[in-house]
Structure 1
Amino acid sequence: MRKATYIHACHALCSWLGDVTVDLRALRYFVETVRRQSFTQAADALSVTQSTISKMVRQLEDELGQPLLVRQARGLQLTDVGRVVFERGQEALAVAQALQREVDDLAALSRGTLTVGIPPMVNVFFSPLIQRFRAAHPGIALQVREAGGDVIEQMVAEGELEVGVSILPLAPHSVLASDVLGRYPVCLVGTADAAWAHRKRPSLALLHEQPVVMPGEGFALDRHLRQRWQQAGIAPRVVAESAQWDFLLSMAQAGMGTAILPQPLLQRLSLPPELVVRPLPATELDWAVTHVWAAGRYMSHAARAWLAVCRAG
């Protein structure tokens, strides 16, 4: 769009907004039609008739006095003014949605839904916290989404989740805020013939060119380990990856390689007596469990209440 044409369109929109009362419903119908490039699909998505969509779009065009859409055989094309209305309309609808959410929150946590993302390796810690939250806020439907820490961080950053749990350090260039719940040792687990088994406090360097079994891609611990290996110039041989820590232990017991797991998980499992467990120095690696949320984004009262329960827990 040429600059002069765009400026003219912006002035026209500002004049329109100053002279008419904008119907947010009509604006939402117009934005949905543009997104889907179809009156029919927009009507299906919004559970209204196609004639209602067409009527609302015409209403916007009549109020502005200029066409917003050019209907062609190949689809819908925005006019200059239509492009401005579409761009600013998305912003207006987002503000209206945020406002409605904040107003709904004033119901003093008596209703609502909160979904928290929790990795499989961490979920064993959260059963008592979930019980406390449900007891304190019975009107809020608490749901848990299970995924690896890397996936949860991405979901929170993209707004799919308000709050989640991951492991520090966060992914590079992350814009998420964090609140550490606890730090724990990471342990090597293997048979007595492992290269590190005779050390009380082995280092990661002893895993160089040694077989290891570990959580797979998508888990924050996997990312953390690979970062540390790269920094230290260490190159273990990854022979198995799994999200199931009992499987990783069985692989270690079978002599497949060294399992690398957080100490709190090992304390909850029945370890075979032939397995040797040694904690790594905290200076080399630890397991820092943390909440994450998008910095600067509105956080619902339900999410704030969840964080408060976990901090007090």
Structure 2
Amino acid sequence: MLIGEVARRSGVSARMLRHYDALGLVRPTGRTEGGYREYSGEDIQRIFHIESLRSLGLSLREVGRALDESGFTPSELVADLIRRTRERIAAETELLTRLRRIGAAEPAGWEDVLQIIALLQGLGSESAGRRQRAALSSVGEVSVPVEALVEAALSETDPNVAGALRWALAQSGDGGLALLAQGLGSPAAEVRKRAVQSIAEIPDGAATALLRDALTNADLVVRRYAALALGGRGVADAVPTLVDMIVDGANDADAADALSALAHDPALADQIATRLVHRLGDGAIEPSARRRLTQALADVPGTTTSRALADLSHDEDRAVALTATYILKLRDAR
């Protein structure tokens, strides 16, 4: 069979068949009297074998080894092909993500495209300073898509950069809340923590709703950050967790401040005082926890607090009694 007919039947161009011949991959078995290449049935079968192996991503050199080396085993080469394919897919996926983000930013011209690319590269830089500058520059006339900000915020380990990213997310509105909510369910504790911290800085009703839900999160750290944020927003649901934080000595000063802010609402003051007093009466808690609870009463107004402090001024724990007495004097002096 002559080269033209082989090309038609195999789908391999005559030029490529000549290239195979030059490389020694497929040498035609015969020649016609006129000197034209003449392929046998075995030659054509080898051509199909070559094309099959090329479809797996093998180079022509690797194809030649596979077909001609008697001791060749495919396992190592196939493993290498799998690795290369995964790397190629990862690179293509990264490119697709970048293109989608550029499209989402709706650039008006190529200058905008270049600026967005620079910001995205900045967010992914190994330099913390460059990441921070990119975060602070990401909100403006040409802004980074919120998806990129969320991804960066959930993976950032530098506290200064993380703060800049949370600020940028807060400026961008509630567009990233759905993605941050997914972060709350991450299997990685650090990602869950970063997610709730980011949500806490978004001054939005939808963010407050997410923080309320986070009070029942299985992660104790998430619950505590949510409670602190909700306390500052005047949400009474945070009170039980805040009191528990004081008992546990976990960010207890911040928890007491949050309770104090909530206690400015007269309707909540007695509720907070009652819960603090109830925990003070728990004989199972440590003396240090009772002292923290007593200190927390200092900024809670109302008669319930005053009566509790009067009783505590005679407490068996001298430190508790002295703290209560001091607080009462301060309250009387106001």
When the two structures are superposed, what TM-score results if normalisation uses the length of structure 1? 0.28
Return the index of the structure with the highest Cα Rg.
2
Higher relative contact order (CA 8 A, sep 6+): 1
When the two structures are superposed, what TM-score results if normalisation uses the length of structure 2? 0.27
